[in-house]
């Protein structure tokens, strides 16, 4: 379930029902389904969310390592959700294309928040990671959901903003 896919398909709402995948067959606020929603709506427990302005995201193998991206209107940070659908850790080089057309570059450090088998009772903040102007490399544990916040800065005044930013995951290494 993914907010970006919901937006693409014109859906307005997502619901989580009792299912065989919930502990005891019943929805609980501490079950995996609740954390899948929380990664988009309150990943840090402080009310921070996945962006609301969808941007194109591409993976070289969406069936293994899916990527979804959006920009937050308030701070212009690029937010990514990367889902490792495999039973093995995957390392990928992430490239952000088209920020230059908006007069922006990545700046500082990326923050990451992850839900995985390492802790099924919380979304855990990972170590901050330095990023280059347009890329960085990250490893995603097996069967995990990772939210990454990429801060950006404006470097060119007067460059028209466009919603054309794209995220690429062109290389998956095992």
More confident residue, 12 or 151: 151
Report the number of distinct structural domains present in the chain.
Answer: 1
Asked whether residue 18 is domain-assigned, the answer is: no
**CA 115, 117, 120 angle in degrees (round to 5)?**
65
- Model confidence band, residue 131 (pLDDT cutoffs 50, 70, 90): confident
User: What percent of the chain is predicted at pLDDT more than 90?
Assistant: 32
Asked whether residue 22 is domain-assigned, the answer is: no
Asked whether residue 32 is domain-assigned, the answer is: no
Tell me the CATH number at 111. 2.60.40.1180
Distance CA(168)–CA(113), nearest Å, equals 19
Q: Write out the residue range of the structural domain in which residue 160 sits.
A: 51-173
N-to-C CA span, the chain: 25
Instruction: List b or e across 55-67, with b for residues whose CB sees 16 or more CB atoms inside 10 angstroms.
Output: bebebeeeebbbb
Asked whether residue 41 is domain-assigned, the answer is: no
Q: Please, what sign has the CA dihedral across residues 164, 136, 105, 147? A: positive
Distance CA(27)–CA(91), nearest Å, equals 32
Asked whether residue 20 is domain-assigned, the answer is: no
Distance CA(35)–CA(145), nearest Å, equals 9
Give the model confidence (pLDDT) of 56-91 as tens digits: 788 888 899 999 888 888 888 889 999 999 999 999
- Model confidence band, residue 117 (pLDDT cutoffs 50, 70, 90): very high
Contact 140, 82 (CB under 8 A): yes
Give the closest residue to 79 by CA, choosing from 119, 31, 44, 124: 44
């Amino acid at each position: 379930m993914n907010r970006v896919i919901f937006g693409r398909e014109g859906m307005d709402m997502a619901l989580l029902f009792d299912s065989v995948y919930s502990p005891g067959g019943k929805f609980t606020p501490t079950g995996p389904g609740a954390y899948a929603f929380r990664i988009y709506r309150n990943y840090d427990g402080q009310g921070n969310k996945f962006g609301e302005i969808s941007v194109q995201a591409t993976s070289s193998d969406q069936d293994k390592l899916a990527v979804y991206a959006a920009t937050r209107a308030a701070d212009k940070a690029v937010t990514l959700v990367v889902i490792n659908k495999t039973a093995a850790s995957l390392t990928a080089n992430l490239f952000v294309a088209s920020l230059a057309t908006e007069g922006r570059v990545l700046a500082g450090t990326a923050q990451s928040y992850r839900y995985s088998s390492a802790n099924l009772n919380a979304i855990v903040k990972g170590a901050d990671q330095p990023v280059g102007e347009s890329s960085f490399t990250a490893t995603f544990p097996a069967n995990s959901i990772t939210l990454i916040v990429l801060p950006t800065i404006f470097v060119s005044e007067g460059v028209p903003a466009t919603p054309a930013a794209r995220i690429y995951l062109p290389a998956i290494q095992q």
